[in-house]
Homo-oligomer: A and B are copies of this chain.
């Protein structure tokens, strides 16, 4: 999780220009634990930079991913979710009702692919996704019939 200043260096060092858009997207992502989608970041970004385009947000996110400064998560919520926390190993809780994504910092030492019976499949990583219902959706249960993930409504 780099600061905006560090990102500036990184952009320069990789031959990229330090633009308001790049900084803005990074600032919105830095330390953000909500795992926003590109759309959500776009909505937030245009509050600061009224003319920023969704296209640019996608481009910057891709770049940040290539630079190893964020990762995109496919959690089955429709859109990719972006996570700036690439350093600390962690897992995710996904609300199947609203699409909210929370971090779960817990070590599961037993989660390691067996050595045998893999038919030569070489395992690189293990992700655990816990699915369930977030507190908010639980208390709203029955009030409305909405099954549509709120976090994804454009």
Tell me if A67 is interfacial: C-beta within 8 Å of chain B: no
Chain B nearest CB from A74 CB (Å) reads 4
Contact B96 A124 (CB under 8 A): yes
How many interface residues does A have (CB within 8 Å)?
34
Chain B nearest CB from A122 CB (Å) reads 5
Tell me if A5 is interfacial: C-beta within 8 Å of chain B: no
Contact B135 A121 (CB under 8 A): yes
Query: What string of 1s and 0s marks CB contacts (under 8 Å) between A117-143 and chain B?
Result: 011111111111111111100100000
A102-118 interface (Cβ within 8 A of B): 102, 104, 106, 108-111, 113-114, 118
Tell me if A145 is interfacial: C-beta within 8 Å of chain B: no
Chain B residues with CB under 8 A of A109: 110
CB-nearest residue of chain B to A102: B121
Given the interface pairs A132-B125, A135-B120, the reply to whether A93 lies near B113 with Cβ below 8 Å is yes
Contact A119 B102 (CB under 8 A): yes
Contact A114 B106 (CB under 8 A): yes
Contact A118 B93 (CB under 8 A): yes
Tell me if A95 is interfacial: C-beta within 8 Å of chain B: yes
